[in-house]
Amino acid sequence: MTADLDPVETPALAETRRRLVLVGAGGAGRELLALVRSSPRFLAAHRIDDVVFVDDAAERPGSPAPVVSTIDAYVPDSADLVLCAIGEPRSRASVVERLDAVGAAYATFVHDTAVILPGSSIGEGSVVYPFVVVSTDVTVGAHVWLQASAALGHDVVVGDGATVSGGAKLLGGVTVGDRVFVATAAVLSPGVEIGASARVGAGSVVLRRVRPESTVFGVPAVMLPGAAR
């Protein structure tokens, strides 16, 4: 609706303006910045008028947004909403722990072109890219990344901190554990379970349960030698 895209400015509204803080100014962070800037409904809904980075490399020449702090030195302002823009799931989980310890308040970013059907939920701090489709009765945890054109079937569960890469398909009833990485164009067959911190290789077709902290690849997907921990 036009009212959502162009809210009328009032003194009360001006006082609630927010700053979006992207933690991580590398490739994932720069990509997320571009997505946020292309989502006027998201910006209007959260009343965001500034987007900045926090990154361990305090000096990033040519950065498309200012780097205002290192991660260790960052202290959230009351107006800040945070998204952790670290691509690797376990590294992201570690940074989120540090952000939790300083009381960060998180946004949930859903790109304007994504489709989330009724009955589904997206956890705080999660990022949903363009053209993602989330079917009915899906539960997506906190700090999850669903990348471009990923598709989640009915009753899928995605654990905290997982990444579902572009074009991946999670068919009905799939369960993905915390910190799992599902690579580009992988297909997870109906009802399969992917254990915590496992990795599914690009283009793989998963037909059966994947053990925690293992890596599988292929059609059909098999565990790679030495990949289980």
The sheet with strand 80-84 has its strands ordered as 67-69, 48-54, 18-23, 80-84
CA 138 – CA 146 distance, rounded (Å): 13
What local confidence, expressed as pLDDT, does residue 57 receive?
Answer: 80
More confident residue, 158 or 9: 158
* Residue 192: how many other CB atoms lie within 10 Å: 20
Sign, CA torsion 188/176/154/149: negative
Q: Give domain limits for the chain.
A: 2-107, 109-215
Mean pLDDT of the chain: 91
More confident residue, 227 or 171: 171
What local confidence, expressed as pLDDT, does residue 123 receive?
Answer: 98
Q: Which two tokens stand for residue 30?
A: 């720069």
* pTM, to two decimals: 0.89
CA 86 – CA 145 distance, rounded (Å): 10
What local confidence, expressed as pLDDT, does residue 166 receive?
Answer: 97
User: Which residue's entry shows tokens 């790109």?
Assistant: 111
Query: Amino acid identity, residue 125?
Result: G
Residue 117 and residue 135 in contact, taking contact as beta carbons nearer than 8 Å: yes
CATH class of 109-215: mainly beta
Residue 16 confidence class, pLDDT cut points 50, 70, 90: confident
Predicted confidence (pLDDT) per residue in 52-63, tens digit: 999 988 667 778
CA 156 – CA 136 distance, rounded (Å): 9
Which stretches of the chain are DSSP H helices? 2-5, 11-15, 27-37, 40-45, 89-101
What local confidence, expressed as pLDDT, does residue 7 receive?
Answer: 38
User: Which residue's entry shows tokens 């379970």?
Assistant: 193
Lowest mean pLDDT among 16-20, 87-91, 151-155, 158-162: 16-20
Span 27-48, mean pLDDT?
94
pLDDT at 205 over 50: yes
The domain made up of 2-107 is a member of CATH 3.40.50.20: yes
pLDDT at 14 over 60: no
Q: CA torsion, points 58, 60, 128, 122, in degrees to nearest 10?
A: 0
